[in-house]
A = this chain, B = another copy of it.
């Protein structure tokens, strides 16, 4: 998306920032991709496609609370990242299907356990501070 070319303004730092034994410098592509995947709607769209191809309207109604703008934007971003494939059939009533690519399926497979954990955890009646 952006990939802002950050040209080290005035940061005479020489050490590499490590988190969890990993290196994820600010402004590197991994940060951007991670951001797309873990974005508010990104994760929900990916999971929404985890069971198979879905049409635009299916996603629109299946993902509660998403607006058309955000759905379009998220799908486009994920498509650019190579995680989602778009298949538009040239028929009179427009028929567009979205599906996960191989990469998208891999990521989503890693995302699903997280979703399940969150749901299971909340169900245990632990979270308090949200009116909903």
Contact = CB atoms under 8 A, between A and B. Distances in A.
Copies in the complex: 2
Interface range on chain A (Cβ under 8 Å from partner): 35 or more
Interface string A105-118: 01100111111111
Given A38-B43, A131-B8, A62 B18 contact: yes
Given A3-B128, A51-B21, A122 B44 contact: no
A88 to B, nearest CB: 22
A21 B132 CA distance: 14
B28 A132 contact: yes
B3 A20 contact: no
Interface in A114-132: 114-119, 121-123, 126-132
Contact of A43 (B34, B116, B122): B34
Interface of A: 1-4, 6, 8, 15-30, 32-35, 37-40, 43-44, 47-51, 61-65, 80-82, 103, 106-107, 110-119, 121-123, 126-132
